Amino acid sequence: MGKTIYILAPYPKGEAPSQRFRFEQYIDRLENEGYKVEMFPFLDQKTWKLLYYKGKTVQKAVGILKSFFRRWGLLFRLKKADYVFVHREVAHIGPPIFEWLIARVLRIKYIYDFDDATWLPNYSQTNAKFNRLKAYWKVKYCIKWAHQVTAGNDYLANYAKKYNQNVDVIPTTIDLKTHHTEKTDQNQKPLVIGWTGSHTTMRYLDFIIPVLERLEKRFDFEFHVISNEPPKYKLKSLQFIKWNKTSEIKDLARLHIGIMPLEEDIWSKGKCGFKALQYMALQIPTVASPVGVNSTIITHEKNGFLCSTPEEWEKILTVLFESQSIRETIGEAGLKTIKKQFSVQANWPKYLALFK
């Protein structure tokens, strides 16, 4: 009989990018190896959908209270698992009570996985009133009590090593066989430059808007923003594409150029470069800020471009607008990088080793 893995995660399966591209795409592979994998989200589907709506405070509170009751009940089942894998936190809010009970009282070893600087406050205005309940300080204890830690990049790993020496870096990965299977068509007109992300990270686009305004005077292009909420920018090239899980890859594949501007701050240093990885997997030439892991993923002018100042952004985007051959060459090099370093296929042995 195969060994059992219990996965404890904040969100329902198939909903959050941090889960889909950190561990969910490995579940089938683990099951094919003979493991029995069960996933236990803290939030149920109904509460998850309410989370980013304004208001509905009572419904949110009731949903979260029910989530806590489910977690208490799960504690008594954890001994049945051969491995316990925790992504980010056992409970979406509150101090690390469950992690303490699991590690210190029940004496269960758990693997702790994280892919963002989750010890730093970062929240949407929609849920600002819940911010104090997040207990960001708990992350160091989740790491300290873990038997094994997996971090999404070196910056996160270095933070984790302050509290735990058993730390491995496993990047957020792309499945080139079953998910990112499209390829951008650089022959399509008009030219499309684009960005994808949630409303919480859309503020990073503020920096690039003046650059696009200048480029609009010289080139005919569309600027696609793929997100859960529409942007408020006034650009004649702007087109909002509502993010949809079933069409996300086709929507991304319409881009000829993908952008990932970031601010140089400690939160951005913890990000795992997922936008860049998605673009590159679809052979979309990528232009990004040289912040955090972006400088590890992208080698300037080889498999993408790194730009800091508005002048650098405008110069590189102009080159890409004017040259289809450069877009194609950089796109092909980006895909090679994904295959070699950031694909599910390349990182599968690391995940399997966690459960050996």
Instruction: Determine how many CB atoms are found less than 10 A away from the CB of residue 236.
Output: 9
Residues 126, 244: one domain? no
List CB contacts of 219: < 8 A, sequence separation 6 or more: 191, 321
- DSSP string covering 321-337: HH-HHHHHHHHHHHHHH
Q: Is residue 356 part of a domain?
A: no
Looking at 137, 170, 203, which one is the last position of a domain? 170
Q: Is residue 178 part of a domain?
A: no
**Which whole number is the average pLDDT over 106-111?**
97
Q: Is residue 350 part of a domain?
A: no
Q: Given a cut of 90, is residue 88 above it in pLDDT?
A: yes
Residues 208, 154: one domain? no
Q: Is residue 335 part of a domain?
A: yes
Residue 159 sits in a domain of what CATH number?
A: 3.40.50.2000
pLDDT digits (tens, 9 = 90+) for 181-201: 889 999 999 999 999 998 888
> What's the pLDDT score for residue 351?
94
Strands 191-196 and 167-169, sheet pairing: unpaired
List CB contacts of 330: < 8 A, sequence separation 6 or more: 285, 286, 302, 303, 304, 305, 320
Contact 222, 301 (CB under 8 A): no
> What's the pLDDT score for residue 202?
92
pLDDT digits (tens, 9 = 90+) for 301-355: 999 999 999 999 999 999 999 999 999 999 999 999 999 999 999 999 999 999 9
Residues 313, 239: one domain? yes
Q: Is residue 352 part of a domain?
A: no
Q: Is residue 29 part of a domain?
A: yes
Dist CA 286 CA 306 (whole Å): 9
Looking at 106, 136, 170, which one is the last position of a domain? 170
- Name the pLDDT band for 126 (thresholds 50, 70, 90): very low
Residues 37, 67: one domain? yes
Burial class (CB in 10 A: 0-12, 13-18, 19+), 104: exposed
Q: Is residue 125 part of a domain?
A: yes
Q: Given a cut of 70, is residue 130 above it in pLDDT?
A: no
The per-residue pLDDT of the chain, averaged, comes to 92
Residues 201, 297: one domain? yes
Q: How many domains does the chain have?
A: 2
pTM: 0.89
Q: Is residue 9 part of a domain?
A: yes
Residues 45, 142: one domain? yes
Judged by average pLDDT, the poorest of 32-46, 119-133, 147-161, 222-236 is 119-133
Q: Given a cut of 70, is residue 122 above it in pLDDT?
A: no
Backbone angles phi, psi at 205, to 5 degrees: -75, -15
- Tell me which residue range forms the domain holding 206: 191-342
Residues 23, 160: one domain? yes
Looking at 140, 170, 200, which one is the last position of a domain? 170
